């Protein structure tokens, strides 16, 4: 009986250790969570805080353009592409998005598509996370966006009573939510 209890004790310890190592491995594996700006060739020279200069959601397919300015006034263009409408590849699934650097539009002259969950995307995630924490309107915009996505608020009600420049900030938060969900 004592030896059977010792055997069960060893099994429990092995299971607990296995779970511990799996949790550690899962949290440390590459491609998850924000990356430091200095890991990004595109965003590495950004001096925080940033400001949202311009943002637009394109009606033809749902891509979102974002123009940010850093503390020195250096402007960067970014686009969250929605490939449903203009991509000829039938293997691309509806709702598939890539981050496009160097362009406000999905197909700009200097556009550079980066891998989903790659270092550039994760650096952008970290940058937008820090921006949203210092942005006074962000909490209200995120609250409204959750309600709108559940279908409990019209688009007119969403924007009602918000200060000027809220549309640009709302689009930036929408991009941030997409990046959070997949990173």
Same domain, 75 and 108: yes
> Token pair of 86, please?
């203009």
pLDDT digits (tens, 9 = 90+) for 70-88: 999 999 999 998 865 545 5
Average pLDDT of the residues in 103-122: 92
Same domain, 83 and 169: yes
Same domain, 102 and 173: yes
Q: Minimal CA–CA distance to 98: which of 113, 84, 85, 87?
A: 113
Same domain, 55 and 108: yes
- pLDDT at residue 92 is higher than 60: no
pLDDT digits (tens, 9 = 90+) for 10-29: 555 554 444 444 333 444 44
Same domain, 12 and 60: no
Average pLDDT of the residues in 27-53: 87
Q: State the pLDDT at residue 97.
A: 79
The count of structural domains within the chain is: 2
pLDDT digits (tens, 9 = 90+) for 59-73: 776 899 999 999 999
Residue 172's SS3 state is: helix
Same domain, 9 and 55: no
Give the C-alpha separation, 53 to 127, whole Å: 15
Same domain, 5 and 91: no
Q: State the pLDDT at residue 50.
A: 97
Give the C-alpha separation, 87 to 177, whole Å: 23
Average pLDDT of the residues in 95-112: 87
Query: Own/partner pairs for 126-131, CB < 8 Å, 24+ apart?
Result: 126/34, 126/35, 126/36, 126/37, 127/37, 127/43, 127/46, 127/48, 127/50, 127/68, 128/172, 128/175, 128/176, 128/179, 129/34, 129/176, 129/180, 130/48, 130/49, 131/48, 131/49, 131/50, 131/52, 131/172
Same domain, 88 and 152: yes
Same domain, 136 and 52: yes
For residue 155, whether the previous peptide bond is cis, meaning omega lies within 30 degrees of 0, is no
Same domain, 68 and 150: yes
Q: Minimal CA–CA distance to 58: which of 128, 106, 108, 111?
A: 106
The Cα angle at residue 135 between residues 131 and 137, in degrees rounded to 5: 140
Average pLDDT of the residues in 87-111: 76
What phi and psi, each to the nearest 5 degrees, are found at residue 150? -80, -5
Q: What percent of the chain has pLDDT over 70?
A: 74
Same domain, 10 and 90: no
- pLDDT at residue 133 is higher than 50: yes
* Domain extent for 23: 1-30
Same domain, 132 and 161: yes
């Amino acid at each position: 009986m004592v030896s059977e209890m010792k055997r069960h004790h060893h099994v429990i310890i092995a299971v607990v250790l296995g779970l511990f190592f799996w949790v550690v491995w899962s949290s440390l594996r590459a491609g998850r969570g924000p990356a430091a700006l200095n890991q990004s060739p595109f965003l590495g020279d950004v001096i925080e805080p940033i400001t949202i200069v311009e943002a637009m959601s394109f009606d033809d397919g749902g891509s979102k353009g974002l123009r940010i300015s850093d503390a020195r006034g250096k402007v960067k263009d970014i686009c969250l592409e929605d490939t449903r409408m203009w991509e000829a590849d039938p293997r691309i699934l509806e709702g598939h998005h890539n981050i496009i650097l160097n362009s406000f539009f999905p197909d700009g002259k200097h556009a550079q598509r980066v891998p989903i969950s790659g270092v550039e995307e994760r650096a952008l995630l970290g940058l937008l996370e820090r921006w949203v924490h210092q942005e006074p309107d962000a909490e209200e915009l995120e609250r409204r966006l959750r309600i709108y996505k559940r279908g409990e608020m019209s688009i007119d009600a969403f924007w009602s009573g918000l200060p000027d420049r809220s549309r640009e900030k709302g689009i930036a938060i929408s991009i941030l939510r997409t990046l959070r969900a997949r990173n």
